[in-house]
Structure 1
Amino acid sequence: MTSARRTLIDPESTPFYHIINRCVRRAFLCGEDKLTGKSYEHRRGWIVDKVKALSTIFCIDICAYAVMNNHYHLVLKIDTDKAKSLSNKEVISRWCKVTKGHAVATKYMNGETLIEGEPLLLDSLLAEWHERLSSISWFMRCLNEEIARRANREDECKGAFWEGRFKSQALLDEQALLACMMYVDLNPIRAGIADTVQTSDFTSIQERIAELNSLDTNACNPLSPTAQEPELAAGEPPKPLAEFDGSTHLATQSGIPFHFCDYLQLIDWTGRAIRNDKRGFIDSNRPKLLNELGISPDAWITSAKEFRRQYSGISGRWDAMCEFKKQHQSGKWCKGKACSNALHPSP
């Protein structure tokens, strides 16, 4: 039995979430259908463009993404501070970019006098829209509805395009966030459709490396990037991915709590281990992040390969996972104790 989304997503517990959505049809979401020979590769761009466009409207940042043949992954961060700072006019302006809004809101924006009863209606609308602008459920609804409609028009058919509602995993701490981002960024390499992160098309790590290359700051980059950054849809202002700010704890930072140089070193090392035909995969020198977090190489490589299957809707330290379950999903079994303990060794 599925759980209510409010029991799976709680910004007060963690702002970071891993999102997965899969196509229902035999035909590919993207890539090439070997049976018919028809290519759907252009649909990858649809998803990346729409995700970025929505992130400029919603108070939600993109930490990582990977668009595969029949599914996609996102690591999202709810920007609660940004949501709290929105003025009434900003709330209306943002929400009207995804819906038609309301006549009362239009009157307010135009400076017209509201008649009796309309101020109360406006307050109700503002409260509802303000909450939705930091809602992952509404973010995903806007994303999936447009992609499904465009695909149906292109395929000249009707019916469900997605397998079901999206799946989410709450990432409760630094280890969970790092392992999940690594799992997402290395998806094409793990699937055998790319040899390096530079050639992993439509992934956040490819975009980050391309941006690093364009800024000519390769002194901290061990990967010599060559990839090109995917373009945004016409008319949508670009919004960068969530930044690596180098903090040491989720509660004390505004971005991703690691240094990007350290993340690049770790993803290069991990990619070599996953693709054991690559030179250097048996290097015994652990990357800096693994040493800082006290994670063993074997536990890390297993996590990079199987993160999605290791846990259900929550990943983090075992006691924090149990507490999250107790608060939001009382009486339900918590999956992933052994995997959690492997990523969170005792001092």
Structure 2
Amino acid sequence: MPKPRYTQIALSETPLYHLAYRCLRRSFLCNGIDGFNFRHRREWIAERFRLLTTMFAIDVASYAVMMNHYHVLVRVHVEKAAMWSADEIFGHWSILFQVPDLKKPFLADHLIELEDIQAAEKMIEIYPERLTSTPWFMRCLNEHIARLANFEDI
């Protein structure tokens, strides 16, 4: 039985990882049957990789898109994310996700409530972990591609 990614990844051991994703329900990612051609989806994946590498502290070294699955070789830069300031952390996170309204007052030192300060500090702890997380990287890639493909298949 396969193990979840979070139990297999040890960034202290190596920053390089081979990740793979297979389509569900025997559907096709790039080549279809009955004359359908989905090769344009390769460009969707390439474009998404370009966006995600600007957001995450993860570089894509290589990838291969097959008929119903793909492989990607990534390098995780934990030390790079550790050097990011709070403003950079929020900036990277806001590429795909909405940042709570606490960001601007926190960065300007205008938060008065202790609960708000603690919530903003918690975000600054959580976001760098997620921005170096291969499961989050794959989630952001797969969800987007699946939505586009599902819309196209309707």
TM-score class, shorter-chain normalisation, is over 0.9
Alignment of 1:327-346 (within 5 A): none
**Aligned-residue CA RMSD (Å):** 1.5
Match of 1:47 in 2: 45
Q: Which amino acid aligns with 2:33?
A: K
Match of 1:14 in 2: 14
Structure 2, gaps ≥5 residues long: none
Match of 2:33 in 1: 34
Is 1:113 paired with 2:110? yes
1:246-294 deviations in Å (ceiling 9; x for gaps):
xxxxxxxxxxxxxxxxxxxxxxxxxxxxxxxxxxxxxxxxxxxxxxxxx
Aligned-pair distance for 1:86?
Answer: 0.7
SS at match of 1:103: coil
List 4+ stretches of structure 1 deviating above 2 A: 1-6, 106-109
Whole-angstrom CA distance in 1 between matches of 2:2 and 2:112: 44
Between structure 1 and structure 2, the one with the greater Rg is 1
Alignment of 1:207-218 (within 5 A): none
Aligned-pair distance for 1:137?
Answer: 0.8
Whole-angstrom CA distance in 2 between matches of 1:137 and 1:27: 22
Aligned-pair distance for 1:40?
Answer: 0.7
Alignment of 1:1-347 (within 5 A): 1-31=1-31, 33-35=32-34, 37-109=35-107, 111=108, 113-116=110-113, 117-156=115-154
Match of 1:210 in 2: none
Q: Which amino acid aligns with 1:20?
A: A
Aligned-pair distance for 1:6?
Answer: 2.6
Whole-angstrom CA distance in 1 between matches of 2:58 and 2:138: 11
SS at match of 2:102: helix
Q: Number of matched residues? A: 153
Evaluate the alpha carbon distance shift between residue 84 and residue 155 of structure 1 in structure 2; reply closer, same or farther with a 3 A threshold.
same
Q: Which amino acid aligns with 1:21?
A: Y
Whole-angstrom CA distance in 2 between matches of 1:130 and 1:88: 10
Q: How many percent identity over aligned positions?
A: 40
Please tell me whether the aligned partners of residues 21 and 71 of structure 2 are also in contact (alpha carbons under 8 angstroms).
yes
Whole-angstrom CA distance in 1 between matches of 2:49 and 2:153: 22
Aligned-pair distance for 1:112?
Answer: 6.4
Please tell me whether the aligned partners of residues 106 and 117 of structure 2 are also in contact (alpha carbons under 8 angstroms).
no
Q: Which has the higher contact order (CA 8 A, sep 6+)?
A: 2
Choose between structure 1 and 2: higher strand proportion: 2
Whole-angstrom CA distance in 2 between matches of 1:105 and 1:97: 14
Structure 1, gaps ≥5 residues long: 157-347
Match of 1:334 in 2: none
Whole-angstrom CA distance in 2 between matches of 1:129 and 1:3: 24
Whole-angstrom CA distance in 2 between matches of 1:26 and 1:7: 27
Whole-angstrom CA distance in 1 between matches of 2:6 and 2:106: 31
Q: Which amino acid aligns with 1:44?
A: R
1:166-201 deviations in Å (ceiling 9; x for gaps):
xxxxxxxxxxxxxxxxxxxxxxxxxxxxxxxxxxxx
Whole-angstrom CA distance in 2 between matches of 1:53 and 1:42: 17
